[in-house]
A and B are shown apart, each in its own frame.
Chain A
C-alpha cells in the first residue's frame, strides 16, 4: 500500500507530466510547512511560508468581500506565473508556470489534482 506521501507525490508527478507549462509544484500546509516539494531550487521553506500566507490572506479577502468560496490565487510575473489552489483549508497546491502558459489547460489539470489531493490529505 502506498503511503500518503507517495500518493501526494504521484499526484504531483502526474500533474507535472500533463503540460510542459508547469515548471515546479508543491503542496504546503496552513502552518507554512512543505508537505511535498517539486518546486526545484532551494527556496522551499520560504516558498511554503509565503505560499501559506498568500492562501490565508486570499481566503480572508474572499470572505471579507463576500465573493463566495476561495478557490485560487493567480499571480503573473514578467518572467513566469504562480498559481495557488486551496485544498479544503487543510493544505494548498502551489505551481509555477512558464510565461505565456496555456492557463486553460493548466487550470483544468490543476483542478483535477486539487480534487485528488483533497481526497488524499
Chain B
C-alpha cells in the first residue's frame, strides 16, 4: 500500500523543487508559527465543533486531539521531509480513514489552515508563506492519498478485480 501516494509525494516534491527551495525555509518559521499554535488549534476544533457531523466525531476527545495536533504542527517545521516524514503523515491519513471521517472535512480543514498560516506569515518574507503553504499542500496530498488508496482497496475487495485492472478499466472512461 501507500506506494501510489508515495510516488505522488516524491513527484510533487520534485515538481516544486520542494527540498531545494522550501524545506530549508521551514525550520526558521517554527517559532513564529508555534507562537500562534494554541489559537490556531482552538479555532480548528472550534470550527469542527460547530459542524454537526464533525462535532460528533471529535466529541469527548478534543483535548487529546489538540495535543496530537500540536505535535503535527511542530513536525511541519522540522526540516526533513523524507521517508520517515511520509510514513508518519500517511499513518495520520489512515487514522482518519479508519475513523470514517469524510475526506471533505480534511479538505476544508486544510483550507482553514492555509488561511490561518497566511494571516501569520503575510507579514514575513513571501518565501515564508510560500514554504508553509507548500508543506501544507504536501500533507494534504498524503492524507487524501490515503483515502484514495483505501477506496481503491475496498473497490478491489468487493469486485474481486485487482487494482491494476481497475486502473486499466478507468483508462477507457
Contact = CB atoms under 8 A, between A and B. Distances in A.
B164 A53 contact: no
Interface string A50-90: 10110011011001000000000000000000000000000
Interface in A14-39: 30-33
Interface residues of A, number: 15
Contacts of B160: 56-57, 59-60, 63
B172 to A, nearest CB: 5
A30 B172 CA distance: 17
Contact of B162 (A30, A45, A50): A30
Interface of B: 158-162, 164-165, 168-169, 172
21 contacts: A31-B162, A31-B164, A32-B165, A32-B169, A33-B168, A46-B172, A49-B172, A50-B169, A52-B161, A52-B165, A53-B161, A53-B165, A53-B169, A56-B159, A56-B161, A56-B162, A56-B165, A57-B160, A60-B159, A60-B160, A63-B160
